[in-house]
Amino acid sequence: QNDPLVVFTPSGKRGHFPVGTPILTAARQLGVDLDSVCGGRGICSKCQITPSYGEFAKHGVTVAPDALSEWNAVEERYKSKRGLIDGRRLGCQATVQGDVVIDVPPESQVHKQVVRKRAEAREIIMNPAVKLFYVVVAEPDMHDPSGDLERLRMALEAQWQISNLQIDLTTLQTLQTALRKGQWKVTCAIHLGNHAFRPRIMQVWPGFHEEPIFGLAVDLGSTTIAAHLCDLQSGEVVASSGIMNPQIRFGEDLMSRVSYTMMNAGGAAELTAAVRGGMNALFSQIAAEAGVAKTDILDAVFVCNPVMHHLFLGIDPFELGQAPFALATSDALNLTAAELGLDLNPSTRVYLLPCIAGHVGADAAAVALSEAPDKSEDLVLVVDVGTNAEILLGNREKVLACSSPTGPAFEGAQISSGQRAAPGAIERVEIDPVTKAPRFKVIGSDLWSNEDGFSEAVASTGITGICGSGIIEMVAEMRLAGIVDGPGLIGAPELTGTDRCILDGRTYSYLVWDGTANGGPRITVTNRDIREIQMAKAALYSGARLLMDKFGVDKVDRIVLAGAFGAHISPKHAMVLGMIPDAPLDKVTSAGNAAGTGARIALLNQDARAEIEQTVRDIHKIETAIEPRFQEHFVNASNIPNSVEPFPILNS
C-alpha cells in the first residue's frame, strides 16, 4: 500500500488515502465524526483538526513536518479574518501529503459528549434533530421552469444527501428573498425527521448563518414550569428559568383543576390558555436572558404528567378524573409551535415524550430515560415524589411502573404549619433524644437554631412554617426521640418526658417553636399532621412494595429519589418513616430534576426519542387501584416504619 496512512484520534480509525485527499474527505470515508456545516467550503470552521508530527510508535507511523499540504488561500483567508487556535487546520482545506496522525478535538465532533452535570446518571451524546446545512443553489433560468424550492431541494440532495424534504408555508414565504439576498447561497436549518415524519426545512438564512440555533427542554409541572434553553450545536445550556404554573389559581393540586374543568363550562379551555400563556411568558424571559431571538428556537421537548399533558394540548382531562383513567393518547407526539399556540418560530417542532399510563406520565418516561433502569445491572427503584409518586422498579431484565396517590402532604399542604419550600420554611430538623428539644435550619440560612432559641442570623430570615422535606425529618425525629409511637400517636408529657407535648383537643401536639412573643408564628406538629404524613408515606411505600411483589423480590439494590423534592429528602429520615424500602443508606441517591434531564436528553439526541418510545412500550404498567395487595401494604405501612416489615438494615 503506497498511499499515505491517515490515523485519526481519539477514534483510532485509520486508512490509506492518495496524496491530495482533503482530511475531511478521509474522515467521511472512514466514518470519523468530523463536523461540517459549509460542506468543505472553508467558511464554517466546524472541521478544525490538529495534526501531530514526530514519532508515533503506538500507531506505527512517523509524521514528517510536511505530512499535510501548505496553507491554501481559503485557509489563509479564514485564519487572517477569523483566527484559528495555534496548531489547528481546517480539515476541508488541508490535504494528505504523507503519513499523518490527526486529532479531532471535541468541538469538531458532531456527536460530542455534553459535559455531564453532577447527579446525571448518563452521558448525553449530541445528535440533535435540527442541524444547519450551507448550500449553493442553482440560479433560475429561462430554460428551466423549476421553482426555487425545487432547486434548493436538488442542491440539498446533491450536496448533503438529504432527500424527501418538506417545508412549512411560513418558511416557504421567506425562501425567495433569502436565496436572492444570499446570492444563491443559503444556510438551512433542517429537522432531519424520524420514524414519524419526513425531514423538513425549518428556516432559511441568506449566506452562511454564523449564529447558533436553539432548542428548549421543558418540564411542565403542576406547580412550576421549568425550561432549559440549549445550544443545539454545542449542547450547552445557555439559560434556565422557571415560573409558577399559572393554573395554580384554578387549584393547587391537579384533581382540583380537573374538578374545575368539570364544574365550569369552558374551564378546560381556560386552563389551556393559562398554561400556554405562562409558557409564552417564560420563553420570552429565557430568550431575553440569553439574548436569543425566539425565532432561532427550532426544537422543543416537553415532559409533563398526564393531566398537564392533556391541558397543554387542549384536551379536556375529564377522562383522567375517573376510572379507568383513559388517556386520549399515550403515544409520543410530534407537533408544531403554531398548533400549540406557542410564540416561537411557527415551524418549531414540539416533541412530547410518551405517557406510560393514565397516572404515569411523560415526566415518568423522562425519568426512565435519564435514570435508565432498563440498562441497570442491579435492581433499582426510582421514585419521583410529588402529589403523585411515580415509581419505577427494574433492571436490564424488565421494568415495572406504577403511580401512587401520595397527596400534597409532602409539599407541605394539609399540614397545620406546612408551606412550600421557600425562605423561612424549616427544612432540616434534629430532636435531642434526652431533652426532646428540636434544633432546626430554615431555608435561606446556613445556620442551625441554637439551644436558647433562634440564632440571630436565622431570625433575620424569619421563620414561617415547615416545608415537605422538613416535615419528614420532623416526624422521623419525633419517632426516634420517642415523642410519637409506631401507630403514630404523640405521647402525653408524662410518657415522653417533655412538656413540649401539649394537649390539643383529644390528642397531643408537639411544640416546635413559639415566636408569638415577638409577633412570630407558633409552630406545632399536630397528631393530624402525623396522620397526613403516615397516609402519604404509606401510599408511596405500598406502591414500591407492590412493584417488588410483582418483580418477586423483597429488597432492592439501590434507590434513586428523583424530583426537586427528592433532592431535599434525607434518606435516613425517609427510611425511619418507612417511606422507602429498607436499603443501605449509601445506596439511596438523589437524581435532582431527572424529568428535566430526560427532556434535555431527548432534545439533544433524537435517537433517545425512539429509545424511550420503545422503553415505554416495554414497561409493565401496574394499576395500584385494582391490586388487593396494595391495600394490605398500605395498612401495614401506615405504622412508623411498618407494622409487619422489619427494616433490618435500618435497625442494624
Backbone angles phi, psi at 420, to 5 degrees: -70, 160
| Residue nearer to ligand FES on the CB measure, 47 or 501 | 47
User: Strands 588-592, 558-562: parallel, antiparallel or unpaired by DSSP?
Assistant: parallel
Alpha-carbon separation of residue 455 from 418, 441, 449 (angstroms): 22, 10, 5
| Residue nearer to ligand FES on the CB measure, 38 or 287 | 38
| Residue nearer to ligand FES on the CB measure, 27 or 601 | 27
Min dist CB 37 to ligand FES, Å, is 6
| Residue nearer to ligand FES on the CB measure, 136 or 413 | 136
| Residue nearer to ligand FES on the CB measure, 41 or 558 | 41
Which of the stretches 40-48, 443-451, 548-556, 582-590 binds ligand FES when contact is defined by CB under 6 A? 40-48
| Residue nearer to ligand FES on the CB measure, 53 or 160 | 160
Among 5, 7, 15, 45, binds ligand FES (CB under 6 A): 45
Among 13, 14, 46, 200, binds ligand FES (CB under 6 A): 46
Q: Which residues pair with 128 in a beta bridge?
A: none
Q: Among 70, 117, 111, 109, which residue's Cα sits nearest to residue 89?
A: 70
| Residue nearer to ligand FES on the CB measure, 37 or 229 | 37
Q: Among 464, 509, 462, 465, which residue's Cα sits nearest to residue 483?
A: 509
Min dist CB 182 to ligand FES, Å, is 16
Q: Which three cell numbers stand for residue 176?
A: 425567495
Binding-site size for ligand FES (CB under 6 A) equals 15
Which 81-140 residues touch ligand FES, going by CB under 6 A?
A: 90-92
Among 9, 11, 16, 42, binds ligand FES (CB under 6 A): 42
- Chain residue at closest Cβ approach to ligand FES: 92
Min dist CB 107 to ligand FES, Å, is 13
Which of the stretches 44-52, 282-290, 359-367, 565-573 binds ligand FES when contact is defined by CB under 6 A? 44-52
622 binding ligand FES? (CB under 6 A): no
Residues 6+ apart with CB under 8 A from 458: 441, 442, 445, 447, 448, 449
Q: Which three cell numbers stand for residue 49?
A: 483538526
Q: Among 646, 469, 490, which residue's Cα sits nearest to residue 567?
A: 469
Min dist CB 127 to ligand FES, Å, is 19
Which 561-590 residues touch ligand FES, going by CB under 6 A?
A: none
Among 14, 17, 36, 191, binds ligand FES (CB under 6 A): 36
| Residue nearer to ligand FES on the CB measure, 207 or 521 | 207
Alpha-carbon separation of residue 411 from 388, 408, 418, 471, 525 (angstroms): 11, 5, 8, 9, 15
| Residue nearer to ligand FES on the CB measure, 84 or 138 | 84
User: Strands 389-394, 399-404: parallel, antiparallel or unpaired by DSSP?
Assistant: antiparallel
Backbone angles phi, psi at 103, to 5 degrees: -95, 135
Min dist CB 27 to ligand FES, Å, is 10
The single-letter DSSP state of residue 314 is T
44 binding ligand FES? (CB under 6 A): yes
Residues 6+ apart with CB under 8 A from 397: none
Which residues in 210-363 belong to E strands, given as ranges? 214-220, 224-231, 237-244, 297-304, 333-336, 349-352
Rounded CA separation 208/44 (Å) = 8
Which of the stretches 38-46, 303-311, 430-438, 500-508 binds ligand FES when contact is defined by CB under 6 A? 38-46
Q: Among 126, 172, 104, which residue's Cα sits nearest to residue 607?
A: 126
Among 38, 232, 292, 297, binds ligand FES (CB under 6 A): 38
User: Strands 389-394, 54-56: parallel, antiparallel or unpaired by DSSP?
Assistant: unpaired
Which of the stretches 39-47, 285-293, 342-350, 382-390 binds ligand FES when contact is defined by CB under 6 A? 39-47
The single-letter DSSP state of residue 62 is E
Min dist CB 91 to ligand FES, Å, is 6
| Residue nearer to ligand FES on the CB measure, 32 or 92 | 92
Alpha-carbon separation of residue 554 from 125, 275, 538, 624 (angstroms): 36, 42, 17, 18
Footprint of ligand FES (CB under 6 A)? 24, 36-38, 40-47, 90-92
